[in-house]
Amino acid sequence: MKKLVVKDYEALSEMTANLVLSTMLQDKRVNLSLTGGSTPKRMYELLVDKMAGVEDLSNVFYYTFDETPIRNQEDVVVGFDNLDGLNRCFFEPAAVEAGHLTAMNDENYLDFPQLMADDGGLDLMLIGMGDDGHFCANMPECTQYDQEVYRVELSDIYPWNAPYQESIGENHSDYMYTLGLPALLKVKHVVLIVNGVKKAQAVKRALEGPLDAAFPSSYLRLLPNLTVILDEEAAELIEK
């Protein structure tokens, strides 16, 4: 693991945007999988600006790494929790063309490992982590550590499910899909970004605690080429 501590959220966003852009700037196909959520919001603003200065990004392809289809009461999919957010904060402002984005959904999720392999594998994956220790949609209660991709049936036994269902209002979600640990182990370079004092305890447990199946991000240390970028708040409990 290569660990970096930067001053604050702005510095983390700037360094991460530079790292993502630099990976794009090669004369070969570059396959990226980038996280949604709140952590990368500012990073995407900076990245979209930086990408605007690059004339040709036709060598760059994107893959989502998890998804929760959202259905209405008639069980028709009306949204995708991850893709919709990424569209708003990145794919649309960056004007990513349709053919350059492969989004996980009900039909194709099982094919994702093969599909990414057929495209030459992921060059860079950008992930965050939750204070409950989840990465991608690998949650403490239901991570399948030996699966490249898997589906989780959303159930009331998961403490995060009721709040999640509530958050999507009148709609509901039955399942979520996610890449798992073996898929991340095949990525050439994984970058984990974490900011804020709220996650300091989780960062300590992930990076310095034991491997713990009940805390999925502790397994990230197994990744062969992992860069961790933390702001000072997120890093405040770890060894200097």
Residues that bind a second copy (CB under 8 A): 1-7, 11, 18-19, 21-23, 25-29, 53-56, 59, 117-121, 145-146, 181-182, 185-186, 189, 210-211, 218, 221-227
Least distance CB 208 / a second copy (angstroms): 10
Least distance CB 7 / a second copy (angstroms): 8
Is the Cβ of residue 12 or residue 89 nearer to a second copy in the bound state? 12
Least distance CB 15 / a second copy (angstroms): 8
132 is catalytic: yes
Is the Cβ of residue 94 or residue 226 nearer to a second copy in the bound state? 226
Catalytic residue, candidates 66, 81, 123, 231:
66
3-state SS record for the chain: CEEEEECCHHHHHHHHHHHHHHHHCCCCCEEEEECCCCCCHHHHHHHHHHHHCCCCCCCEEEECCEECEEECCCCCEEEEHHHHHHHHHHHCCCCCCHHHEECCCCCCHHHHHHHHHHCCCCCEEEECCCCCCCECCECCCCCCCCCCEEEEECCCCCCCHHHHHHHCCCCECCEEEEECHHHHHCCCEEEEEECCHHHHHHHHHHHHCCCCCCCHHHHHHHCCCEEEEEECCCCCCCCC
66 is catalytic: yes
Least distance CB 186 / a second copy (angstroms): 4
Is the Cβ of residue 53 or residue 169 nearer to a second copy in the bound state? 53
| Closest to 217 measured CA to CA, from 152, 138, 113 | 138
Least distance CB 22 / a second copy (angstroms): 4
Q: How many CA atoms lie within 13 A of 166 on its CB side?
A: 6
Catalytic residue, candidates 81, 123, 134, 231:
134
Catalytic residue, candidates 131, 132, 174, 212:
132
Is the Cβ of residue 59 or residue 108 nearer to a second copy in the bound state? 59
118 is catalytic: no
Is the Cβ of residue 27 or residue 75 nearer to a second copy in the bound state? 27
Residues labelled as active-site residues: 66, 132, 134
